[in-house]
Amino acid sequence: MTSTRSSTLPQARFGRGLILVCLAGVIWGTIGPGVRIVHEWSGLSPLTISAYRAIAAVVVLVVIALVRRRFATSWSLAVHHWRRVIMVGLLTAAAQLLFFIAVVATGVSIATVVCLGFAPVLLLVISCIQRRRLPSGGRALTVVVAVVGLLLVCLVGGAGDQAPNPLLGILTALGAGAAYALFADVARPLSKRLDTLTMTTATMSVAAAVLVPGGLLVTHLRGEATTPSDIRSWLLIVYLGVVSLAVAHALLFNGLRSIPSGAAVVATLLEPVTAVLIAVVFLHEKLTLAGLVGCVLILAAIASLGKQSDDPQPQ
Nearest 10 degrees: Cα torsion 246, 189, 182, 293: -70
Does residue 178 lie within any of the structural domains?
Answer: yes
| 277 within 8 A of 90, measured Cβ to Cβ | no
In the structure, what pLDDT confidence band is assigned to residue 161 with cuts at 50, 70 and 90?
A: low
Does residue 9 lie within any of the structural domains?
Answer: no
Does residue 243 lie within any of the structural domains?
Answer: yes
Q: What is the pLDDT of residue 313?
A: 42
Does residue 38 lie within any of the structural domains?
Answer: yes
Spatial separation of the C-alpha atoms in residues 188 and 171, rounded to whole Å? 26
Q: What is the pLDDT of residue 9?
A: 59
Spatial separation of the C-alpha atoms in residues 270 and 19, rounded to whole Å? 11
Domain residues for the domain of 256 are 17-307
In the structure, what pLDDT confidence band is assigned to residue 129 with cuts at 50, 70 and 90?
A: confident
**Which of the pair, 149 or 76, is modelled with greater confidence?**
76
Of 236-245, 246-255, 258-267, 306-315, which range is least confident? 306-315
Of the candidates 166, 159, 161, 176, the one whose C-alpha atom is nearest the C-alpha of residue 290 is 159
Q: What is the pLDDT of residue 13?
A: 85
308 has pLDDT over 70: no
Q: What is the pLDDT of residue 261?
A: 86
Q: The pTM is what?
A: 0.85
Q: What is the pLDDT of residue 312?
A: 44
Q: What is the pLDDT of residue 310?
A: 46
What is the average pLDDT value for the chain, to the nearest integer? 84
Spatial separation of the C-alpha atoms in residues 75 and 175, rounded to whole Å? 30
Total number of domains in the chain: 1
5 has pLDDT over 50: no
194 has pLDDT over 50: yes
Residue-wise pLDDT tens digits, 200-220: 999 999 999 999 988 888 787
Does residue 96 lie within any of the structural domains?
Answer: yes
Q: What is the pLDDT of residue 178?
A: 93
Does residue 11 lie within any of the structural domains?
Answer: no
73-87 average pLDDT score? 94
Q: What is the pLDDT of residue 155?
A: 67
In the structure, what pLDDT confidence band is assigned to residue 309 with cuts at 50, 70 and 90?
A: very low
Spatial separation of the C-alpha atoms in residues 152 and 75, rounded to whole Å? 44
281 has pLDDT over 60: yes
Does residue 166 lie within any of the structural domains?
Answer: yes
Of 47-61, 195-209, 213-227, 232-246, which range is least confident? 213-227
Q: What is the pLDDT of residue 87?
A: 97
In the structure, what pLDDT confidence band is assigned to residue 7 with cuts at 50, 70 and 90?
A: low
Residue type, 75: W
State the distance between the two ends of the chain, measured CA to CA, in whole angstroms. Answer: 31
Of 28-32, 102-106, 123-127, 311-315, which range is least confident? 311-315
- Residue 147: burial class (beta carbons within 10 Å; 0-12, 13-18, 19+): buried
Give the contacts of 143 (CB within 8 A, at least 6 positions apart): 120, 121, 124, 262, 266, 301
